[in-house]
Chains A and B, each alone.
Chain A
Amino acid sequence: AAGVIQSPRHLIKEKRETATLKCYPIPRHDTVYWYQQGPGQDPQFLISFYEKMQSDKGSIPDRFSAQQFSDYHSELNMSSLELGDSALYFCASSSDRGQNEQFFGPGTRLTVL
């Protein structure tokens, strides 16, 4: 079965640089979520999209923005990167307006030097 695809899998950036993370949801899933997981921490919700519109927003810094495109893939844009942004970033997708199970991608490990 098709799973959530994330790219790149690893990313190394310098402080104050910009990063773009991509997520391709499971086919026919209409809702996409982004989560951030620091070392030894639980995943923290950042933002979600339903049918290309932002549906909910969590603890996402103003330096971050995201969008969902017409093909349902989503991108998380992160600017002015800080050391504290180093984390695993997960994308998850769900069907039926998020009423069903969320399936997570393999994650993008971002390291900010």
Chain B
Amino acid sequence: QQQVKQSPQSLIVQKGGIPIINCAYENTAFDYFPWYQQFPGKGPALLIAIRPDVSEKKEGRFTISFNKSAKQFSLHIMDSQPGDSATYFCAASEGTSYGKLTFGQGTILTVHP
């Protein structure tokens, strides 16, 4: 059973577009929500993370929106570039579990020039 559900599975946008990736969770004990970017054959790289005490966090071109009541969070990539083409994973962890991450299924993003 997937504890963190991610959509869409794949996404194609034009350069400059704003891809949005969504995640939903059930476990209310989750209190840390990172997003990772992964290129083929490489390790996941932390992009941005949020905790439930804020509804939005922005770092550069990446923004997380968080809706605690709906148990949903999303990643927005502003002014997307071909170099952003990668697989994006949302994840979640509980504060009591020494940080083990539960990942979503991943979204393959393609940004056309």
Contacts and interface: CB of A to CB of B under 8 A. Distances in A.
A43 B98 contact: no
Given A98-B98, A99-B95, A109-B41, A43 B103 contact: yes
Contacts of B95: 99
Q: Could you say which interface size class chain B belongs to?
A: 20 to 34
Interface of B: 34, 36, 41-46, 49, 89, 93, 95, 97-106
Nearest to A44: B103
Interface of A: 4, 31, 33, 35, 41-45, 48, 50, 55-56, 58, 88, 90, 92, 94, 97-107, 109
Given A43-B89, A107-B43, A58 B100 contact: yes
Contacts of B46: 101-104
A97 B96 CA distance: 10
